[in-house]
Structure 1
Amino acid sequence: MFKLSHWSPPRILVTGFALIILLGGLLLSMPFASEAGTRTPFIDAVFTATSATCVTGLVTVDTGSHYSAAGQIIIVTLIQIGGLGFMTMSTLFAIILRKRISLKERLVLQEALNQSSMEGIIRLIRKVLLYSLTIEAVGAVLLAIRWSYDMPLGKAIYFGVWHAVSMFNNAGFDLFGQFGTPFVSFTRYVNDPIVNIVAMLLIVLGGIGFIVMSDVIDFRNKKRLTLHSKVVLSMTGALLAIGTIVIFIFEFTNEHTLGALGWDGKIWASLFQSVAPRTAGPNTVDLTQLRQATQFFIVILMFIGASPGSTGGGIKTTTFATLIGAVIAMIRGKEDIVMFKMRLGRERIFKALTITLLSLALVIFVTMLLSTTEDQAFLKILFETTSAFGTVGLSLGVTPELTMFGKIVISLMMFTGRLGPLTLAYALGPRTEKELFRYPEGKITIG
């Protein structure tokens, strides 16, 4: 007989997310959740629930046209729970009910938020909830005001709230398929500066992580940023700038994407398509019409993903920065990785290498597996697999055409990407014990 108190924090997280997905899948499969009033196939309902809880955005049926208002509310609730984390949401209720947060719960929260210690963890949770709800509320108001010119006020408010939650949590779900064309995403607003700016700000704020947001807000008092915040902000800015420039250059003459737009449209579309692969999911141009070089470049951006402690996936910006730092240090003949005049510990470097190699191996394996079961081009499958791993939600049209096996595999990929391969390995693997001895050092030739 098992005892929950004996479970490790990673195992509790994995089990909690799995139960939420199962419950969401059951609800979405009910007739009341579909617009037609019929049952949605259970595999499609679970796929949608997994995508929502893992804040991805990949869907086998169009969200706006297939699901009823009740189904859409279930989906956005799953997005909110998945984005903030079910432990964060349960802590919210504990705070409201003035219940004591146990040591075990604090350990799970530490694991969920990817923190190195429990110090100030409840204070951080309060900030997470406050920042999230405030940012979502502001985004909802701005979007509702803009969309009130396109639709009735009631629907504009509903759309504003729904999409603000989806964008901030980097989920990528949208409801615009109900206007006639399924899976259309934000393409009708490719030239709209208000929708572009609000959506991108929501995505970026959700993707940099709550620790960084708290650090930036406290900067006025502390007059300094932590190393973590400096690395996240600089790497995020660099990736967005590089992504915008590369997409602009590659697609400038493509008549099916940027080529048909004016200069302002080209800039907005390039910037938006650079922001979206940071685990967000929406798109303002038809991704299937992008050149293959651009599609592969987006795969790289999706693999890197967002930042630790955020609503996004991928190997994370800090992991990528650590790898770049290791390469630079090796080329320069230095023993230490130094960032902003601070040295990184070896355990951080080993963790970055482990996460990257595990993630790369997983993406490669799943891509090879799906290449044998799905009748799709290799790049499309690689794109879909990386999108699922990075909990991005961008697709080249493969998702609705997946076989039963493909849907199961992509669902598992989204689940792994949300929790992280390392957390999943800790949860499923045996408990490790501290080694009582060390082997003698040996040497091998590298390179």
Structure 2
Amino acid sequence: MVYLSAVPSIGPLLSGRPHRLRSPVTRPGQVIVLAFAVALAVGTALLMLPVSVTDHPPADVLPAATNAAGGATALDALFTAASAVFVTGLVVVDTATYWSGFGQVVILALIQVGGLGIMTSASLLVVLLARRLGLRSRMVTSASLGALSMADLRRVLLGVARIAVGVEAVIAVVLVLRFVLGYDYPLGRALWHGVFHAISAFNNAGFALYSDNLMGFVLDPWVCLPLAAACILGGLGFPVFLELRRHLRTPRRWSMNTKVVIAGTVTLLVVSVVTITALEWNNPDTLGPLPWTGKLLAGFFAAVVTRTAGFNSLDVAAMNTQTWFAQDVFMFIGAGPASTGGGIKITTFAVLLAIIVTEVRGGTAVNIFDKRLARSVHREAITVALLAVALVMAGTWTLLIMTEFTLDQLLFEVISAFATVGLSTGITHQLPDAGQLLLVVMMFAGRVGPVTLASALALRSRRLMYELPKERPVIG
């Protein structure tokens, strides 16, 4: 029995009891959820300060109120902080006129930290200052980056930082030049607007410093195209970026993840551009009055931002119901894994599609790009999709009970929040307080991931060291 006490994991096996593997550290999912919650609390507190609000917030764009001290109300601050740190872009007060310069800086900081990921940002800061990471920090950061290997994590973190800063800097320079040369902005205003919108675009946040978002630039390719490029690049995911840096000219060496994300991004982009442009081509309130070149530009921009970003150069509330439904699908699928975008992710959708095709064809193994998928990947994809569907259905049903809005409006709002997109049919600020809190929960769940959130909320985790007999029910 000396050996049993020295190796306590053997005892339960010999005694016939289920064996539980206890992790010596907190599960990464719990740390990620807690980190986002802390960031949300800090952001809410900062936005409630009187200095975060303009002296006399106008109420002509969106209704606004202040607390007793002159700052934002707790709900407005919470919703805005959640929308920023979860890189969504839904608003209940006008970003351009309600928040002061300090408040807008807080929002921008939350967007940058939330886009990179709380643990990634914190670990990067530790690497830059202390030049080392502990084991727990490495495990959690690896999980937040999409289960990348912990080997040489410092190099990965620095690579992520270079990608983010590099893309944002290039986009900001283009926007600053356009604002100065095309709109006669003073240099200071041009710099602020260029930097703000570049960071908001790359992080797929959708916040803009204009009351009509980007509708004033609907025909300006020098504003819309750079922002669209930043949204697409941010939605690819850092694992794809890092692999393309090494093997850009040798596609045969790309991993399945990179191939699926790139192929899925191109396919979804083409389908969404054709669908949205065709459905809105003759709509007198959206594409109808524009010249054909403007229709193509606005249709392309609308398709790009629908999947992840949340900017709008067209009035979403004036779009056809058919367009809303198509956008629901594109938003729900979303961007690449470990990216600044949301949704169930392109890879999840691709795996589900491959499973269906294989089952219909009577195959036994699910293959993608001449590689076989592990059974665990099947379960993960199905779990993510079904949890996402359950959250969206529950959220929509709850809002149907507490409001008088139509099903298509509420479904659009809930999917936009869960997929951290930020598009709205214009009802966000009209929802009751409980409805806005529900959207905060949806943004939280969508950003950290339904599986991560569910595992973090689990009271305990155990792994059984035995299997039960197999039996199958009748399916279909």
Superposition TM-score tier, normalisation by shorter sequence: over 0.9
In the alignment, does 2:238 pair up with 1:210? yes
Tell me how far apart the structure 2 counterparts of residues 253 and 187 of structure 1 sit (CA, whole Å): 18
In the alignment, does 2:209 pair up with 1:175? yes
Whether contact under 8 Å (2:417, 2:442) holds in the other structure is yes
- 1:78 corresponding residue in structure 2: 110
Of residues 19, 30, 36, the one that matches 2:55 is 36
Counting matched residue pairs gives 438
Aligned residues: percent identity? 39
Of residues 276, 285, 300, the one that matches 1:256 is 285
- 1:131 corresponding residue in structure 2: 163
Tell me how far apart the structure 1 counterparts of residues 91 and 46 of structure 2 sit (CA, whole Å): 16
Tell me how far apart the structure 2 counterparts of residues 161 and 347 of structure 1 sit (CA, whole Å): 42
Tell me how far apart the structure 1 counterparts of residues 472 and 90 of structure 2 sit (CA, whole Å): 46
In the alignment, does 2:180 pair up with 1:156? no
| Offset, 1:375 | 2.5
Which stretch shifts more, 4-13 or 18-27? 4-13
Which stretch shifts more, 401-410 or 71-80? 401-410
Whether contact under 8 Å (1:16, 1:86) holds in the other structure is yes
Tell me how far apart the structure 1 counterparts of residues 249 and 406 of structure 2 sit (CA, whole Å): 53
Whether contact under 8 Å (1:257, 1:286) holds in the other structure is yes
Tell me how far apart the structure 2 counterparts of residues 56 and 361 of structure 1 sit (CA, whole Å): 20
Pairing 1:62-77 to 2, within 5 Å after superposition: 62-77=94-109
**Which structure has the larger Rg?**
2
- 2:145 corresponding residue in structure 1: 113
In the alignment, does 2:265 pair up with 1:236? yes
Which consecutive segments of 4 or more residues in structure 1 shift more than 4 A?
220-223
Which amino acid letter does the alignment assign opposite residue 198 of structure 2? A
- 1:245 corresponding residue in structure 2: 274
- 1:400 corresponding residue in structure 2: 429
In the alignment, does 2:261 pair up with 1:200? no
Cα deviation, 1:250-289, whole Å, max 9, x if unaligned, reads 1111111111111111111111111112220101110111
- 1:180 corresponding residue in structure 2: none
Tell me how far apart the structure 1 counterparts of residues 123 and 41 of structure 2 sit (CA, whole Å): 21
- 2:6 corresponding residue in structure 1: none
Tell me how far apart the structure 1 counterparts of residues 138 and 362 of structure 2 sit (CA, whole Å): 42
Whether contact under 8 Å (1:325, 1:337) holds in the other structure is yes
| Offset, 1:298 | 0.3
Which amino acid letter does the alignment assign opposite residue 194 of structure 1? W
Tell me how far apart the structure 2 counterparts of residues 96 and 118 of structure 1 sit (CA, whole Å): 17
- 1:15 corresponding residue in structure 2: 34
3-state DSSP class of the match of 1:80?
A: helix
Cα deviation, 1:159-187, whole Å, max 9, x if unaligned, reads 0001100000000000012xxxxxx1111
- 2:179 corresponding residue in structure 1: 147
Cα deviation, 1:304-334, whole Å, max 9, x if unaligned, reads 1111010111100000001111111111111
Tell me how far apart the structure 2 counterparts of residues 254 and 99 of structure 1 sit (CA, whole Å): 56
Whether contact under 8 Å (1:5, 1:104) holds in the other structure is no
Tell me how far apart the structure 2 counterparts of residues 119 and 346 of structure 1 sit (CA, whole Å): 25
In the alignment, does 2:452 pair up with 1:420? no
Question: TM-score by structure 1 length?
Answer: 0.95
Tell me how far apart the structure 2 counterparts of residues 215 and 261 of structure 1 sit (CA, whole Å): 40
| Offset, 1:118 | 2.0
Of residues 297, 317, 336, the one that matches 1:288 is 317
Question: TM-score by structure 2 length?
Answer: 0.90
| Offset, 1:222 | 5.5
Tell me how far apart the structure 1 counterparts of residues 24 and 35 of structure 2 sit (CA, whole Å): 14
Structure 1 residues 87, 381: CA separation in 2 closer, same or farther (over 3 Å shift)? same
Structure 1, unmatched stretches of 5+, are 178-183
- 2:64 corresponding residue in structure 1: none
| Offset, 1:7 | 2.1
- 2:413 corresponding residue in structure 1: 384
- 1:300 corresponding residue in structure 2: 329
Whether contact under 8 Å (2:132, 2:154) holds in the other structure is no
Tell me how far apart the structure 2 counterparts of residues 338 and 311 of structure 1 sit (CA, whole Å): 28
3-state DSSP class of the match of 1:97?
A: helix
- 1:268 corresponding residue in structure 2: 297
Whether contact under 8 Å (2:214, 2:313) holds in the other structure is yes
Whether contact under 8 Å (1:114, 1:308) holds in the other structure is yes
3-state DSSP class of the match of 1:133?
A: helix
Which amino acid letter does the alignment assign opposite residue 20 of structure 1? A
In the alignment, does 2:222 pair up with 1:190? no
Pairing 1:91-110 to 2, within 5 Å after superposition: 91-110=123-142
Structure 2, unmatched stretches of 5+, are 1-22, 57-69
- 2:306 corresponding residue in structure 1: 277
| Offset, 1:5 | 7.4
